[in-house]
Structure formats: C-alpha cells, structure tokens
Amino acid sequence: MRINKYLAQCGIASRRGCDKLISEGRVTLNGKICTLGDDVAEGDIVKVDGKQVGIKKNEYYILHKPKGYLSTVSDDKGRKTVMDILGSAVGRVYPVGRLDYDSEGLLILTTDGELAQHLTHPSNEVPKTYLVKVEGRLTEDDLNPIRSGIEIEGGYVTKKCKAHIVETNREYTKVEMVLREGKNREIRKMFAAIGREVMLLKRTKVGELSLRGIDRGSFRKLTPAEVEYLKSL
C-alpha cells in the first residue's frame, strides 16, 4: 500500500496532508525517512515524528450541528465546537468540510482521512443540499443568476447549481439549493451578490444521506451501508 494512503487510513491526515508530512521528512519506514513513492508491506514499522502508527478501525458519525458551534476540533478563543456535542464518549474524529458558525445541519465526522478527502475534493463534485431562508420575497427568475454562476465577493465566479423556491411570502423566501463545491460562506455571498441577506442556512443532505431522525444537537454512528454509499459518491 502506498505510504500516503496508509497514513490516511491510520487517521493521521488527508492524503494531501500526509504527502506534506512525508515531504517534510517527518515519516519513517523501518527506520528510514520515507519518500512519496514508498509502499508499506505487512510487518513494516511506520513512524510519524518518531511515534509508531498503525491502521485502526475507522469511526464515522453524522451530526446535526446547531447554530453557534464551530466545525473544528478546538478553538483558541474558547468558543463552542462540535466536539462539545460529541463529548468524551467519542474518540478523536475530525469534521469533514465545514459549516460556518451561524449555519446548521448535516456534518460528517470521521477518522478516515481518505473519505474526508474524497467528499471535499472539488474534482469529485459531491452534491450537498441546503435549505436557505432569505429576506423578502423572491421569484424563480431572481434565482437565475445564482443558478448559472455568479461573481461573488473576491471576484470568484461560482459554478452552476440547482435552486428552487419551496416557500415565499412578503417577509422571507425559502430556497432549496444543491451545490457541488464548497467555498467559504459561498451561499451567503451568492445571495449578497443579488442584494439579499441569508437569515438561516441549513445543510440537509450529502448526496442522499439526510438528517432524518437526528434532532438538532444530536448525532449517531453511520451504518456500514451509509459509509460505503459515501465512498461511492
């Protein structure tokens, strides 16, 4: 098995992160500093920063993130993170992608760096569904610039996406969106580009995996079938 894949399966980091560790000379194989092309065979001893590592059984969780929590393992400002929801009963897992502090919804956490890389790498275009509550009344025509790709803050032009109205009145409009990329605060910036403020943002699905049966602030383990589904996306 290639060394970067082995390290990812050990839960050290994503493959890209493991490549960086190897390039920095922090990984050894049977006492010798690794190169990116090295393979690991049964019985080999692999160490990262002098500490031996090995493949462990990966853990996979789905969490319904509330607003007011960071999608990180820790925060130097003392703010609440999703790890405060998981508590001590769960091992050292890592959030896959991000939901910003003011957003809520589906978040996957795992020790499987390879799956995390697969779900977040732009080339894989994994679909993610969001429910967005926007100020004021919108029409379907108002969403056309967002559907076709719109220039947002910073000069980036978003990719095409699906968007349709599920509810509207004078005070707000609810829009369901399916995106295949995940730029920081992208949806909020997309609506800002058409002069509208997002009041609520919730991720409801990754592929067809949904939050059904998971209350806000709760979590559960993913089933083996769900894990295999995510790997197939």
Asked whether the beta carbons of 139 and 161 are under 8 A apart, the reply is no
Catalytic residue among 100, 102, 112, 215: 100
Gap between the Cα atoms of 43 and 186, Å rounded: 46
134-172 exposure pattern, b = at least 16 Cβ within 10 A, e = fewer: beeebeeebbeebeeebebeeeeebeebebebeebeeeb
Tokens of 123: 């080339």
Residue 49 among the catalytic residues: no
Tokens of 189: 């910036």
Gap between the Cα atoms of 125 and 97, Å rounded: 13
Environment class of 41 (CB within 10 Å of its CB; exposed 0-12, middle 13-18, buried 19+): exposed
Tally of CB atoms within 10 A around 103: 23
Catalytic residues: 100
